[in-house]
A = this chain, B = another copy of it.
Amino acid sequence: MEGVDHLAHERSKAQFDVDEMKIVWAGSRHSFEVSDRISRLVASDPVFRKDNRTMLARKDLFKNTLRKAAHAWKRIIDLRLTEEEAKTLRFFVDEPAYTDLHWGMFLPAIQGQGTDEQQEKWLPLAYKMQIIGCYAQTELGHGSNVQGLETTATFDPQKDEFIINSPTLTSSKWWPGGLGKISTHAVVYARLITDGQDHGVHGFIVQLRSLDDHLPLPGITVGDIGMKFGSGAYNSMDNGVLRFDNVRIPRDQMLMRVSQVTREGKYMQSNVPRQLVYGTMVFVRKTIVSDASCALSRAVCIATRYSAVRRQFGSQKGGVETQVIDYKTQQSRLFPLLASAYAFRFVGEWLSWLYTDVTQRLQAKDFATLPEAHACTAGLKSLTTSATADAIEECRKLCGGHGYLSSSGLPELFAVYVPACTYEGDNIVLLLQVARFLVKTVSQLVSGKKPVGTTAYLGRVELLMQSRPNVQKAEDWLQPSVIVEVFEARATRMSVACAKNVSKFPSLEEGFAELSADLVEAAVAHCQLIVVSKFIEKLQQVIPGKGVKEQLLNLCYIYALFLLHKHLGDFVSTGCITPKQASLANDQLRSLYSQVRPNAVALVDAFNYTDHYLSSVLGRYDGNVYQNLYDEAWKDPLNESVVPDGYHEYVRPLLTQQLRNARL
C-alpha cells in the first residue's frame, strides 16, 4: 500500500488550481518558495523528528529540544540562511524552545526600549547567541496587571547601580519561557525606585547565570516551574521561576529609551514618545494572529483528510459506507473552521500592513490612529486565539475515538496552543479594553469626533441603526455589501446599546463594571466585523488561478453566515435581520457546504503542510491511516514486553488469591 494515494479521488474532484491557492495562502510566490523549501529541509532531517515526543519523560524531552535548537542554529549558520529563512526554519521545527523567547521577546524588547548605545552593546551578542535572553515580566502574584508587579529596582547613587530585589513570595518571577534552565540574561520588569520614590514598572537587563559554568549568579534563585498541559506540548519549554536577593546591576542596564535615571539618580523622560510601545505590541499581536491561522489550518487539515478517509454507516446492501465528511453535521462543524483558517490568514496579512502603517506614523509623530490600532489588534488577538483553541478541540472530536490518540497529533496541538488565549494579554481582559474604546468612540460621536480605521463605520451610526438588508431569498445573502452592512449594523447597535446603558449608572466605572459581560459581547461583534470585512477586501483584489477566487468567495460567505447563525440572538434581537432572513441564511449555508465539499481536501492541501509538520497519522497526505495507526501503536513503551512490568507484583496475586473475608 506504500505509495498509494488514498485521497487521489478526492483530489481529482477539486474545481480550482491548488498550486495558485498555495501562493495565496503563503501570501506571495516568494513566501511560498521559502516556506516550501525550508519545511522540506526540516522534514527530511532526522534530528528534527517529532514522533516520539509524547513518550519522553520531561528531562529527555527537554534535552532533545536543546539538541534540536543547537542543530537548528547550526543549519542556519552552515546554510547561511537569511533572517526570514531562519525564522521559517525555527517555525517548522515546531517545538516550543528557549529560542522562541530569545528571538521573539528578548531581542525586540531591547530593540524597542533600549537606547542606541544599549542596542549597540547588547544586540550583537544576542544575534550571535553569545548570550541567551528571556522576557521576565509576569510574577506569581501578577500577570494581567503589570502595574502591580512587586519586584523592585532601587537606585543606589553611591555605587551607580540598581539593586534588584524580590521582596515577597508573590514577587517571584513566574512563567518566563527560557528562564528556568537556559537563559543567561533576562529583561526583568521591576518597579523603579529612586530616592524613595516609586516610578512604576521599567525594564532592566539582568545577567542571571555565569557565562563560564552556567551557575546562577550570587543572589539569584532560578528554576523550572514544572509540568504544564499535555505530554510533549509546551513541556519542552523551561518556563521559569526567579528570585532576586538584592542583586546589583550597573545603571546602564536599565532600558532607557523612553525614560532614564541619571548618574545623580534623577528620573527623567526622554523626548522619545511613550507611544513607541504600541509599535511592538502591534508587531507581537500580528505574529499571534498569523500563528492562530497556522494552528487552526493544521487542525482543519487533519480533520478534513481524516473525514474523507473515515467511513461510517450508510452502506447500502453491503456496499461501501458513507465518508463521514458527507454528513451535513460533520460539514457544519468542519467547514466553518476551514473558512476561519482562511479568514484568519487574511486578517493576519492585513495586520502586517497595519504594522507598517503604524510604524510610519510613529516616525512621523502622528499618534492619532494609535488607540484604534491598539484596540483593533487587541481584539483580533483575542478573537483569533479563542476561536482557534476551540476549533482544535472540535477538530479532535470530529475525528471520533482516534482523535484522542496522541498519534492523531490533535491532543498535543491543543495543549501547546491554548496558552495563546492567556499570554500576551488574557483574552477577556483584552476584549474589555476593546469595549472601552468602542464606548468611548460612540460617546464622542455627538461631539463630532470622526472614528478612524476599523471603527470608521461608527461614523454612519444613524444609517446603521436603521438599516435593513434587502434579503428575500437565500441567494440574496451572496452579496458582500449585504454581509458587511449586516455585520456593521449589529456591531453598531451593540456598541450603542452598551454606551447608553453604561451612561445610566452613577459613574462610568460602575457602569463598565456592572455591564462588562455585555461589553465583551459588543467587542466580539466589532472584531468579527473586522475579520469579515478584511476577508471581503482581500477578495476585491485580483486573484489569479482557475477557480481560486470562487472558492475563497464561498469560504468567505461560509465564515460570515456561520457567525450570523452562531450569534443569531445578536442579529435578530437588535433587529438587524428578521427570523425569516436568518432562516434563508441557514439555507444558503447548507448549499455553500455542498459547494465546498468536493474541494475540501484540495483546500487543505493548499496549506502545503508536510507530514512532518502535521505529525498526525490521521492527517497523512496519502490518507493511509489504518496501517499507520496500527504500526504506531506497537512503538509504545508498554509494548516492549508482552507481560507488563508490575504483573507479577500487582495482578497475578489478585488472579490467584483465595478470598476469605470478602463481603462481595
Note all chain B residues with C-beta closer than 8 A to A516. 327-329
Asked whether any CB of chain B lies closer than 8 Å to the CB of A586, the reply is: yes
Note all chain B residues with C-beta closer than 8 A to A112. none
Asked whether any CB of chain B lies closer than 8 Å to the CB of A368, the reply is: no
Once the chains are docked, how many angstroms separate the CA of A278 from the CA of B560?
A: 43
Asked whether any CB of chain B lies closer than 8 Å to the CB of A606, the reply is: no
Asked whether any CB of chain B lies closer than 8 Å to the CB of A434, the reply is: no
Beta-carbon contact of B241 and A664 below 8 Å: no
> What is the chain B residue whose CB lies nearest that of A629?
B140
Once the chains are docked, how many angstroms separate the CA of A59 from the CA of B647?
A: 12
Question: In angstroms, how far is the closest chain B Cβ from the Cβ of A511?
Answer: 11
Interface residue tally for chain A (C-beta within 8 Å): 151
Asked whether any CB of chain B lies closer than 8 Å to the CB of A644, the reply is: yes
Once the chains are docked, how many angstroms separate the CA of A641 from the CA of B140?
A: 23
Q: Which of A127-157 contact B (CB under 8 A)?
A: 127-132, 138, 140-145, 148
Beta-carbon contact of B650 and A226 below 8 Å: no
Once the chains are docked, how many angstroms separate the CA of A332 from the CA of B521?
A: 12
Once the chains are docked, how many angstroms separate the CA of A206 from the CA of B230?
A: 36
Asked whether any CB of chain B lies closer than 8 Å to the CB of A175, the reply is: yes
Note all chain B residues with C-beta closer than 8 A to A223. 633-634, 636, 638-639
Beta-carbon contact of A145 and B664 below 8 Å: no
Beta-carbon contact of A321 and B646 below 8 Å: no
Which 4 pairs, one residue from A and one from B, show the smallest C-beta to C-beta distance? A568-B569, A229-B411, A63-B646, A573-B579
> What is the chain B residue whose CB lies nearest that of A577?
B573
> What is the chain B residue whose CB lies nearest that of A54?
B227
Beta-carbon contact of B59 and A57 below 8 Å: no
With contacts A214-B652, A630-B241 taken as known, whether A138 is within 8 angstroms of B565 at the C-beta atoms is no
Asked whether any CB of chain B lies closer than 8 Å to the CB of A76, the reply is: yes
Beta-carbon contact of B70 and A650 below 8 Å: yes
With contacts A228-B405, A636-B224, A645-B63 taken as known, whether A128 is within 8 angstroms of B662 at the C-beta atoms is yes
Note all chain B residues with C-beta closer than 8 A to A56. 57
Ordered by A's residue number, 21 sampled pairs between the chains whose C-beta atoms are within 8 Å are: A58-B638, A59-B637, A63-B646, A63-B650, A81-B663, A132-B654, A140-B626, A141-B311, A145-B321, A211-B655, A223-B638, A225-B636, A226-B635, A227-B636, A330-B428, A404-B419, A518-B586, A565-B569, A568-B568, A568-B573, A572-B572
